[in-house]
Structure 1
Amino acid sequence: MPTHAVCPPGRKKQILLNAFDMNCVGHINHGLWTHPRDRSTDYRTLSYWTDLAQLLERGLFDGLFIADIVGVYDVYGGSVTLPLQESIQLPVNDPMMLVSAMAAVTRNLGFGITVNLTYEAPYLLARRFSTLDHLTEGRIGWNIVTGYLDSAARAMGLTEQIAHDERYDRADEYLDVLYQLWERSWEDGAVVRDRNARIFAHPDKVHRIVHHGKYYDVEGYHLAEPSPQRTPVLFQAGSSGRGQAFGVRHAECVFVSSQSKAGTRELVAALRAHALAAGRDPAGLKVFMGVTVVTGRTEAEARDKFAEYARHASPEAGLAHFAAGSGIDYSTFAPDAPLAPPGGHKSRGIESSVKRVTDDAPGWTVERLLAQLTLGGRYPTIVGDPRQVADELESWMDETGIDGFNLTRTVTPESYVDFIDLVIPQLQERGVYKTAYAEGTLREKLFGAGPRLPPEHVGAGHRRRNG
């Protein structure tokens, strides 16, 4: 079966592409909700999402990757004043609720849904993902996160966030429970739907899971019958040492964020080397990088559009977002002060965020950060005509070894329309982007193999011999 995920001899590597969004107003590029053509304040309506899903499928996007947080960004200034004024991922609605409606109006678009496992019971989450895998006919993925906000911990009954490495220790065990439910509880062939014999499922082929570990105790049968993929496609975004170890063990797709091609290349090489050492196919680990694109029919039009967007953006809102991720209140720093953690502060937030502006990148100040946050976000921003954008996207692919991009929105849906109408035809002409969807589930589309976890994946080890 032909698939864009496979690159035959003499053919260029195909770019994988997700739209990166969130069930809220301000996601990555902050302040642009004030632009007169932006529709992000309609996020609470179903038509906003079904229209977006159909638009992305017209552009042959592999998936819609929906971020989520539990908690609020209350680090900057010690309050939620700016997050409420600028709608910095507040309010934010549940991403899982959107999938069924979007799946009903599309046939091929995949959905990567962020769920924080720290505050979810594995037994019930397993059923929710199986349900969505059934309803989408195998187009569901899970972005595994462990959380990083103290505000979430307090809201969920804890005094503070669980320590960084322990969150991943818990997550390892959590995934082991889910693999047992998804891959082991129901054998292949358990469901027969035999009306004449009055047997829907063979009782001897459905098994109770018994797990008693350090963090979780689960005894029970998986409530859902086997879905097309059984285990959803697994996404993960950890860039710390412990986060990378978790990703290499579990993730099929890894999301990275970097301003530097050299830094990205080193990170991708390390991930693939660790995957190989863990007995996995390095090429079976797909790496997506976050990117923002502003394009127009000419370079001048793109530059004018960028300037127009910048007039509506909020760099300070972007700084508040970054402060929440790092766990450090940068509102207390002088504009020209080095961004070292004050007083030896040990963040329980995203370690890679702290490291990026302290240990690994000397010379960072609040002024320098704000200058980078022209559109309110910190992802690499490509501005230019379709040919220039395509050149830069290919450059990132060729120089870093990534497999594709998570494309953030600016003014919505305008930014996606521009990319689909202007950039995608240019990529297709170069032979680096598909002209039609492959058949099958999300996993089959991405990897060109079967619908289930590959045999070398740790989750596949939980299957029964005849499953």
Structure 2
Amino acid sequence: MLLNAFHMNCVSHIQHGLWVRDDTRQLEYTQLEPWVELAQILEKGCFDALFLADVIGLYDTYRGGPETSILEGMQVPVNDPALLIPAMAHVTEHLGFAFTSSVLQTHPFTFARQISTLDHLTRGRVAWNVVTSYLSNAAASLGLGGLPSHDERYERADEYLDVTYKLWEGSWEDDAVLRDTQRRMYADPAKVHPIHHAGKHYEVVGPHLCEPSPQRTPLLFQAGSSTRGRQFAAKHAECVFIVTSRSSLSGSASIIQDIRTQAVRQGRRPEDVRFFQGLTPVVGGTEAEAKAKEAAFIEQANMEGSLAHMSGSIGVDLGTINLDQPLATFDFQSVRGSVKGLIESSPDKSATFRDLIRSRMLRQFLTGTPEQIADELQAWFEAGVDGFNLVYTVTPGTFVDFIDGVVPVLQARGLVQRAYAPGPLRQKLFGEARLPKRHPAAAYRRG
């Protein structure tokens, strides 16, 4: 069972409003010390990686502007996640670091150098979460004249990855670097090649500016769940982040089977793709203690921040909806399809829309004693999920509670590692440091 901590270089990531509590370090996100502490805690707990989310833009759909997001610190202000990694890597030996970067925000030639630098500095412990962006504000701020269509963004992502694969895998041969002090030859020019990429979105001559790093291509994460997103994952991804209902293990199994089947059609193997379910653990010494903690979190959570987040995610201004209106009285002809889907998901139509949002928040929590939480994680694992992206309520407390309480139970069951395997991050997870020959990136290798 693989374990990632899910975090973001901002004040409020997923569980909004809890930054006001005294037992969280969210207000210190601009300082290095809390991040260094977190990395050391996670490595002590044998976590596989710290997964850093990111957005390049504002959530400004709710009530027609960004004011709520700014007021609540809801993923704004947000700092660059990649710049945290070297400091955390310096105080750890094995913990992996995944960070999110959109294909819209950085030219692939520049990004390839950034990744190679991080892979060198971490000794091969870096992963990239590939995203295509969905916030209109991001496109406006990047001068794109509007957000490209969903499928066009994935088309751009396919070419973006082709460029980076060529740079990482094909530009420098394995034996290009000599470091020969006697002959004063650092590298053999005959074994460093331009890539001459000319495509619809990018023209890159190359060569790559960095010598080969331990993994060359970073471990690849992806989180798209649409039809096109699943196609992209089947072709490129090694790790896929999913969020499905705890009440429906079959929903996870269906997504996993679909992507793995498509991966096989691409010439890959089912085991080439690992799946991570998102959950928020709330651990208590007793069930009553855990439920009391959960109730306190829900009471202190900020509804406005959650609505601003959801509005940006689905592209619908939920600020126009009467939160205290019973679901049964909604006119389905006047609400957008995504909102209609939210309402239809509730079995209790006498509940209000506010109740519905609160229940969705509650469904994200996995609450109980260490043994109860371990039981649920084991059920997910046996249903085909490979691991978990664990979302915090308070940081680092959520992870400390999980490591002190749940990890020993999972280790006793033989479900979680007690020590790290050697080598770079991909080798720890898949047994080899570089992408296998059946991955499309391998087509650009020389020799």
Which protein, 1 or 2, shows the higher relative CO under an 8 Å CA cutoff with sep ≥ 6? 1
The residue number in structure 2 matching 1:237 is 223
How big is each residue's C-alpha offset from its partner over 1:167-187, in whole Å with a ceiling of 9 and x where there is no partner? 000110110010000000000
Superposed CA offset, 1:380-404 (max 9, x none): 32110000000011111112x1100
- Of 21, 25, 32, the match for 1:46: 32
State how 1:64-79 maps to structure 2 within 5 Å: 64-79=50-65
SS at structure 1 position matched to 2:204: strand
Cα distance between partner residues in 2 of 1:125 and 1:133 = 12
Q: Which segment is superposed worse, 28-37 or 335-344?
A: 335-344
Residue in structure 1 matched with residue 308 of structure 2 by the alignment: 320
1:135 lines up with 2:117 in the alignment: no
Match of 1:331 among 319, 336, 340: 319
Matching of residues 413-428 of structure 1 within 5 Å: 413-428=396-411
Are the equivalent residues in 2 in contact too, given 1:339–1:357 (CA < 8 A)?
no
User: Could you tell me which of 364, 374, 378 is aligned with 1:390?
Assistant: 374
CA deviation digits over 1:189-226, x for unaligned, max 9?
00010000111001100001101111111112100000
Q: Describe the SS at the equivalent of 1:143.
A: strand
Match for residue 442 of structure 2? Answer: 460
Q: TM-score, normalised by structure 2?
A: 0.94
Identical-residue share of aligned pairs (%):
50
Indicate if the aligned counterparts of 1:340 and 1:357 stay in contact, CA closer than 8 A.
no
What is the rounded CA distance, in whole Å, between the counterparts of 1:342 and 1:184 in structure 2?
54
The residue correspondences of 1:361-400 to structure 2 (distance < 5 A) are: 366-374=353-361, 380-399=364-383
Map residues 61-460 of structure 1 onto 2, 5 A cutoff.
61-259=47-245, 260-334=248-322, 335=325, 336=327, 357=342, 366-374=353-361, 380-399=364-383, 401-448=384-431, 450-460=432-442
Unaligned runs of 5+ in 1: 1-14, 346-352
Q: Say if 2:97 and 2:126, in contact at 8 Å, map to a contact too.
A: yes
Separation in 1, partners of 2:312, 2:8: 17
Matched to 1:464, the amino acid is R
- Change in CA separation of 1:339 and 1:405 when aligned onto 2, cut-off 3 Å: farther
Query: Contact 1:138/1:227 (CA < 8 Å) preserved in 2?
Result: yes
SS of 1:220's equivalent? coil
| CA shift digits 1:54-93 (9 cap, x unpaired) | 0100111000000000111110111222112211101000
Deviations 1:139-191 (A, max 9, x none): 00000011000011111113321110000001101100100000000001000
Match of 1:56 in 2: 42
Report if the CA contact (8 A) 1:28-1:408 is conserved.
Answer: yes
* SS of the residue 2:161 aligns to: helix
Code of the aligned partner of 1:461: A
- Structure 1 residues 112 and 99, CA gap change in structure 2 (3 angstroms): same
- For normalisation by structure 1, the TM-score amounts to 0.90
SS in 2 for 1:141: strand
Residue identity in the other structure for 2:306: G
What residue identity is the alignment partner of 1:263? G
Write the distance in 1 (CA, Å) between the matches of 2:333 and 2:93: 48
Cα separation, partners in 2 of 1:436 and 1:416, compared to 1, 3 Å: same
The one-letter amino acid paired with 1:463 is: R
* Count of aligned positions: 439
Q: 1-side partners of 2:357 and 2:255: how far apart?
A: 25
CA displacement at 1:119 relative to structure 2: 2.0
